[in-house]
Structure 1
């Protein structure tokens, strides 16, 4: 996620330079036909462009508001996941108490590692490419050279192997459904077994732990909703159609205007060529606004403005490890946890 003061104008130009070239090339065609071939009939009344531009403005503004809302919701969901993770860690430390200190610490590590594994499975799920996402567009690909996405550098097995014993890891990877949800179900089962064995002393303690786990399940569902269901394709499609119509017609509406500017000075053969830069400027504004909105509509795909779920997950893990007094250098190995999980 970009957390600097602002994007520079040069960065926008760099990001949209392909569009700028196409807009300039298109504007040059009717201008050359008007100025060189004398095709005066190509001129279109500016009132038509004014009406179409108003419609395009409304639809792009509506789209950008909705796309921004999706991005804001995604950030709020992951902020809530961070808060509920801290609540989960505190509840585990306070309510899951075995007969001796060493066993209690191991139980805590098992539950914490299960939570870290869930965070890992969820972020890998949220990073899966979707057909409607924009990361493979040329302008976005160029930004990928400046940063990396951890989920694309390491496969899921390697990532989960840091937290799960081999038997549990194999069970998770063999599961054909939602792996994050499967891990949450395993945590619920472990809580149930702990309550049955009196490791969790009272019903209210058990209910409190299950309550936090249920909140986490709801947050996962909300994140998956944003990931799996794009901004409405009908609104997206009509915005693109109207924008293209506008881009096509703008040069035709400016021809007569710039030609007339130089008529009284006898330089209309020169002023008409101003159609090209002014046409590019007007259409670039609309094209860039649409592109900014579209690139904000999928906040988990891994773009420069997406929710930094990899960093957030890492911070959650660091904070939760601190609850157990771990400095990040030592923890029970997954193989040592196998007896407790099974």
Structure 2
């Protein structure tokens, strides 16, 4: 993930460098043909290029805004996941500290039950992250395997759904009728988990309008191809002065800007992919798991 301005410049350079090379070669070739076969043999009116370039710039700006809105929505979803998980773990810690909230047969080992529920919640967060990275059947540690077996989680089905179902069933069967407020509070958090997962899957499973992407790539590519015809050479000091080749860096810069913006738009439109512009869900979920483990350690310290 890009965290500093220096890293941003380096990553931007990596993205733009292939475009610099490709457009430089293309523009040198076109300008060389013009100089070899005769001056201004195919120059198109610069006014046409200005109007076309302005239209492409507006179109790219609109598309970049749409892609960033998609990225920001993904970031808000995992921010909501962070807040909901922290609150859920804290309330489990508090509610399971009062034995009167539970049925008589469930009042034993409440600390262990609370610790297991929080561990299962952390496992759910990890699994949701895995599914965003298309890893639906990950390998588990020995402790995680035991936890899944203890809660009778069906690994043949969608694992994130099964984890939420296991947590829901455990809470429903544990709380007494006198603790409907506490149970309802935890159930609301579970409903939010379902909403968060649904929002994340909606973004991941809905492509960013492939025909829209193809059209943008087409018009940007067409404009970059026409740039040498719009600009042509620069005749400062006459034909033999060599200044006509100053047009090359100008054309390369303009071409690279348009191509780089289009590339960045495509990257922003996939917020859950594992590229430099994607939402840092690995780091976010790691922080959530750490928070859950801290609550579990607090439970262990109280029990001892």
Given the two structures, how large is their TM-score scaled by the length of structure 2? 0.87
SS at match of 2:215: helix
Shift of 1:64: 0.9
Q: Judge which range, 111-120 or 266-275, deviates more.
A: 266-275
Q: Which residue number in structure 1 is paired with residue 250 of structure 2? A: 278
Residues 189-200 of structure 1: pairs in structure 2 closer than 5 A: 189-195=169-175, 198=176
1:74–1:223 CA contact under 8 A, matched in 2: yes
Structure 2: distance between partners of 1:227 and 1:164: 31
Partner Cα separation in structure 2 for residue 112 and residue 283 of structure 1: 53
Matching residue of 2:31: 31
Unaligned runs of 5+ in 1: 129-150, 332-342
Give the drift of 1:11: 4.4
| Mapped pair 1:179 → 2:159 | yes
1:158 to 136, 140, 143: 140
Q: For residues 225 and 18 of structure 1, what CA distance do their matches in structure 2 show?
A: 33
Q: Partners in 2 of 1:174 and 1:44 — Cα distance?
A: 63
Q: Quote the offset at 1:87 in angstroms.
A: 1.3
Conserved in 2, the CA contact under 8 Å of 1:117 and 1:163?
no
| Shift, 1:161, TM fit | 5.2
| Superposed CA offset, 1:175-203 (max 9, x none) | 2xx321221122111122113xx3x7422
Count of matched residue pairs = 296
Residues 13/94 of structure 1: CA separation in 2 closer, same or farther (3 Å cut): closer
1:305 aligns with 2:277: yes
User: 1: CA distance between counterparts of 2:300 and 2:133?
Assistant: 26
Aligned residue for 1:217?
194
1:18 is matched with which residue?
A: 18
Structure 2 matches for 1:317-336, cutoff 5 A? Answer: 317-326=289-298
Specify which of 184, 200, 204 is matched with residue 181 of structure 2.
204
Q: Give runs of ≥4 in structure 1 deviating > 6 Å.
A: none
Structure 2 CA distance for partners of 1:267 and 1:39, relative to 1, 3 Å: closer
Report if the CA contact (8 A) 2:15-2:260 is conserved: no
Partners of 1:26 and 1:235 lie apart in 2 by: 26
Given that residues 114 and 164 in structure 1 are in contact (C-alpha distance below 8 angstroms), is that contact kept between their aligned partners in structure 2?
no
Q: Deviations over 1:101-146 (max 9, x none)?
A: 8611111022112111111110000012xxxxxxxxxxxxxxxxxx
Task: Decide whether the 8 Å contact of 1:35 with 1:269 is kept in 2.
Answer: no
Cα 1:306–1:201 change in 2 (3 A) is: farther
Query: Could you tell me how far 1:160 is from its partner in structure 2?
Result: 8.3
Deviates more, 1:102-111 or 1:244-253: 102-111
Are 1:167 and 2:149 an aligned pair? yes
Equivalent pair of 2:63/2:265 in contact (CA under 8 Å): yes
Indicate conservation of the 8 Å contact 2:151/2:166, yes or no. no
Distance 1:83 1:218, change over 3 A: same
Partner of 2:68: 68
Describe how 1:229-308 pairs up with structure 2 within 5 A.
229-255=206-232, 258=234, 261-262=235-236, 265-267=237-239, 270-308=242-280
Counterpart secondary structure, 2:276: coil
CA distance in 2, matches of 1:14, 1:80: 33
CA RMSD of aligned residues (A): 2.8
